[in-house]
Structure 1
Amino acid sequence: MRVYIAAEPTDLRKSFDGLSLLVSQRFGADPLCGQLFVFRNRPRQRSKRPSCR
């Protein structure tokens, strides 16, 4: 399993659909491919990983 970590801060108020769109845009990957995508907020105090439905 590959783990992708977004280098730039992300607005974690986005829904999972919004984060899935970011996976497609930032990583050029399919959000349902079975890999792990991790996003963090600006102060780096929180992270979020969208899960498959």
Structure 2
Amino acid sequence: MERPARPRAQPAPPGGPPGAAFQLAGSPQVVGTLWPIDDRIAVEIADASTGGWP
């Protein structure tokens, strides 16, 4: 019997961290916060930390 190359993703538990949903969807890396932040500030921090990667 052949096995799939990747095991099937299990759904995140309700109320789990939002970043877990992105990882389950296949994103290898996720950056998140444990508190609400302004979207504009998040974009500025992401641009500064990645050097403006495309």
Alignment TM-score > 0.5, same fold: no
Greater per-residue strand proportion: 1
With structure 2 as the length reference, what TM-score do the two structures score?
0.31
Q: Which has the higher helix share?
A: 2
TM-score, structure 1 normalization: 0.31
Larger radius of gyration: 2
Higher RCO, 1 or 2 (CA under 8 Å, sep at least 6)?
1
